[in-house]
Structure 1
Amino acid sequence: MRVAIVGPTYPYKGGGAQHTTELAHRLTALGHEVVIESWRAQYPSFLYPGQQTISAPEGEPFPGVRRELDWRRPDGWLRCGRRLRGADLAVLTLLSPVQVPPYLGILAGLRRATEVVALCHNVLPHERKPYDAPLVRALLRRVDRVLAHSEEQAGLARGLAPAPVRVAGLPPHLPSKGESLAAPGGEMLAASKGESLAASGGESLAAASGGVRRRLLFFGMVRPYKGLDLLLRALARVPGVSLTVAGEFWGGLEETRALVAELGLDDRVELRPGYVAADDVPGLFAGADALVLPYRSATASQNAWLGHEHGLPVIATRVGALADHVTDGVDGLLAEPGSVDALTEVIGRFYQDGEPQRLRLGVKAVDPEPHWAAYTAALLSAGA
């Protein structure tokens, strides 16, 4: 089958770019002829405040890439659509409603000559604007199939358009030893090749280098839905525990600094704003007892798997796929979302005598192969 994937890849960074790249590798390994139609300029800079591109690839680049799409050039959208008429399947990777106008241009050039699947990382954004739903509705009404990453997201898609919707969980992009990458705002993903970073027997790198540090890690792009403010307020109630916050801030950095000062946490909270280079990621995880995901809401996420792949227990809220990836009391702890009290209680429970070590021993690395097999099968048979 000839498959064209429209989406970001290197030199763009992040989970979306890595997913597109890994998907292309996986489909090629299955014997399909694959090309990535990627971006020369994906978003206006004012819509994406973080660092968009990187100078060195994070993982193995895909060789069959055209980088001609530009958000400023509708003529290029039409040309891309005309090229896709030669494919058996076109996959439009939806990361943001901002991509919809170029995708509509591509579909106009395509003129329904090829089957089209909208691969929705998020059907609608976590923090929505009035134009988001109309834009996504316009796209989903014009495609043949939709692939969503959760039943909740599939429900959103079905409410917007009549196209058939299939569900496949987002497969893991997990770090191989010495080969990691950062997702939007520093959320690390990696190629699913090579050895796990989890030490043998489930012992974490932190354990291997000595004991309980009484330090937690919040890792990734900081946005309101991720609940950092809730975590800071909970931390203020748990004496003797520190926190590292590493990743790009999607606004709100000064407000976060002010909250840290207001709560008297200046000596316990380390803020490391900005893109986290791949070489710095293992050290961040090695210096923590647990990865904390205090999200108010979530869809599909790699982050629980990410913590486990580094050998760390995960403290997470019961939202989206996070609760599916953490076994409460075995390899992490779960709390109800949106509650400072719940986070306070679960952090206190985590630091009971012997609990960090016990949970660390329960951490196991995930095998990505069955997840990817199910995912590619769902993509290729999305209308069945």
Structure 2
Amino acid sequence: MRIALVGPAFPYKGGGARHTTELAHRLAAAGHEVVLESWKAQYPGFLYPGQQTIDVPEGELFPATYRRLSWRRPDGWYRAGRRLRAYDLVVFAVLSSVQVPAYLGILRGLGSRAKAVALCHNVLPHEPKPYDGPLMRALLRRVGTVLTHTPEQGALAESLTDAEVRVAELPMHLPASGGQEGRGGGGGLLFFGIVRPYKGLDVLLRALPEGVRLTVAGEFWAGLDETRELIASLGIGDRVDLRPGYLPAEEIPGLLRAADALVLPYRSATASQNVLMAFEHGTPVVATRVGGFPAQVRDGIDGVLADPDDPVGLRAAIEKLLADPDGFRARVERPDPEPVWAAYLAALTA
């Protein structure tokens, strides 16, 4: 099959770009002829307050990658669609409704000549704006198939479109790093990634047990000063190591292996590879009962679950894990990504 992926790739950073690139590699390895249509300018700066690009690629680049799309050139969207008419399947990686106008322009250029799939990392944003619903509805009604990563997201997509909606678990897509190495642990708790309100860092800070250390590593899109003020007001500044700024993929394995637990105190979630990344490095997880976390964490075995937005319950969950960190670590099983990827490719290309 001739397949075109449309989405971010290097020099854009983060999980979305890594996923698109890994997906291209996997499809090509499965025998498909694949191109990746990416961006030379994806968003205006004011729509993405963090660092958009990086200088060094995180993982192997996909050879047939073309960086021709630009938010500044709507005329190029239609031309891209015309180019992609020769493909049997066109897959749009949907990470934000900001991408929708460009994707609609490409779809107009495609016409009805190619089968189109919207691969939705989030059907709607965690912190939605009034325009998000209408934009996503317009996109999802123009494609033949929608692929989501959780049943809840699938149901949300079904509320916006009559197109076929499929659900497949999000596979791991971080560059290979050698897996579990040694026993690890002893470094306290870890919170990493882009810091946004829905991820509940403030809840974790209020829940931090006495004497326990916490490392917070990642970009703050907003609220860094407020976070520092909260840490000071709670009197935990000597136990919280704030490392604001983009966290390169190469640094993640070391942080995970050093941690007693990865903590995911999210108020809401869709799909995330963070649990699988922690397990890849032998690190147990404390997470809230949102999104895909309850299906990934075996409560009381390789991690502990807590209710969202509940500092008291989250503290109890952390204390339960830290009462036997070696036991929880010993029960962590390294995930096998291959069956998940096989099911994912099957759902995408069926």
- Which residue does the alignment assign to 1:314? 285
Q: 2:197 aligns with which of 196, 199, 224?
A: 224
Q: How does 1:171-210 map to 2 (within 5 A)?
A: 171-177=171-177, 195=178, 197-199=179-181, 204-206=183-185
Q: What SS does the aligned partner of 1:205 have?
A: coil
Alpha-carbon offset, residue 308 of structure 1:
1.0
Q: How does 1:72-111 map to 2 (within 5 A)?
A: 72-111=72-111
- Which residue does the alignment assign to 2:163? 163
Determine if contact 2:174/2:249 at 8 Å carries over to the other structure.
Answer: no
Q: 1:376 aligns with which of 335, 345, 349?
A: 345
AA aligned to 1:90 is: V
Determine if contact 1:140/1:161 at 8 Å carries over to the other structure.
Answer: yes
Q: Residue deviations 1:323-343, cap 9 Å, x none?
A: 111111111111111111111
Q: What SS does the aligned partner of 2:4 have?
A: strand
Determine if contact 1:174/1:305 at 8 Å carries over to the other structure.
Answer: no
Counterpart CA distance in 2 for 1:204 and 1:83 is 51
Q: Residue deviations 1:153-173, cap 9 Å, x none?
A: 111111111111111111112
Q: Residue deviations 1:15-69, cap 9 Å, x none?
A: 1111111111111111110000000001111111111111111111000011000
Q: What SS does the aligned partner of 1:92 have?
A: strand
Counterpart CA distance in 2 for 1:287 and 1:154 is 36
Determine if contact 1:198/1:364 at 8 Å carries over to the other structure.
Answer: no
Q: What SS does the aligned partner of 2:318 have?
A: helix
Is residue 302 from structure 1 mapped to residue 266 from structure 2 by the alignment? no
AA aligned to 1:345 is: A
AA aligned to 1:165 is: V
Alpha-carbon offset, residue 279 of structure 1:
3.5
- Which residue does the alignment assign to 1:283? 254
Counterpart CA distance in 2 for 1:286 and 1:364 is 14
- Which residue does the alignment assign to 2:219? 248
Counterpart CA distance in 1 for 2:180 and 2:333 is 7
Determine if contact 1:204/1:312 at 8 Å carries over to the other structure.
Answer: no
Counterpart CA distance in 1 for 2:37 and 2:248 is 26
- Which residue does the alignment assign to 2:31? 31
Q: What SS does the aligned partner of 2:63 have?
A: coil
Counterpart CA distance in 1 for 2:22 and 2:238 is 41
Alpha-carbon offset, residue 284 of structure 1:
1.9
Alpha-carbon offset, residue 307 of structure 1:
0.9
Determine if contact 1:27/1:376 at 8 Å carries over to the other structure.
Answer: yes
Provide the TM-score with structure 2 as the length reference.
0.98
Counterpart CA distance in 2 for 1:378 and 1:65 is 23
- Which residue does the alignment assign to 1:14? 14
Determine if contact 1:282/1:310 at 8 Å carries over to the other structure.
Answer: yes
Alpha-carbon offset, residue 174 of structure 1:
4.4
- Which residue does the alignment assign to 2:61? 61
- Which residue does the alignment assign to 1:181? none
Determine if contact 2:175/2:249 at 8 Å carries over to the other structure.
Answer: no
Counterpart CA distance in 2 for 1:165 and 1:37 is 23
- Which residue does the alignment assign to 2:326? 357
Counterpart CA distance in 2 for 1:39 and 1:220 is 23
Alpha-carbon offset, residue 89 of structure 1:
0.5
AA aligned to 1:227 is: G
Q: Structure 1 vs Structure 2: percent identity of aligned residues?
A: 63
AA aligned to 1:335 is: A
Determine if contact 2:6/2:91 at 8 Å carries over to the other structure.
Answer: yes
- Which residue does the alignment assign to 1:209? none
Alpha-carbon offset, residue 278 of structure 1:
3.2
Counterpart CA distance in 2 for 1:366 and 1:143 is 33
AA aligned to 2:294 is: A
Alpha-carbon offset, residue 112 of structure 1:
1.5
- Which residue does the alignment assign to 1:187? none
Alpha-carbon offset, residue 275 of structure 1:
0.6
Alpha-carbon offset, residue 175 of structure 1:
4.8
Q: Residue deviations 1:315-359, cap 9 Å, x none?
A: 11111111111111111111111111111111121222xx10100
- Which residue does the alignment assign to 1:274? 245
AA aligned to 1:57 is: P
Is residue 257 from structure 1 mapped to residue 239 from structure 2 by the alignment? no
- Which residue does the alignment assign to 2:119? 119
Provide the TM-score with structure 1 as the length reference.
0.89
AA aligned to 2:204 is: L
In structure 2, the CA distance between the partners of 1:286 and 1:166, relative to structure 1 (3 Å rule), is: closer
Structure of greater relative contact order (alpha carbons < 8 Å, 6+ residues apart): 1
Q: What SS does the aligned partner of 2:270 have?
A: coil
- Which residue does the alignment assign to 1:51? 51
Counterpart CA distance in 1 for 2:226 and 2:266 is 18
Counterpart CA distance in 2 for 1:370 and 1:137 is 32
AA aligned to 1:233 is: R
Aligned residues: 350
Q: 270-279 vs 144-153, which deviates more? A: 270-279
Q: What SS does the aligned partner of 2:86 have?
A: coil
Over the aligned positions, Cα root-mean-square deviation in angstroms equals: 1.1
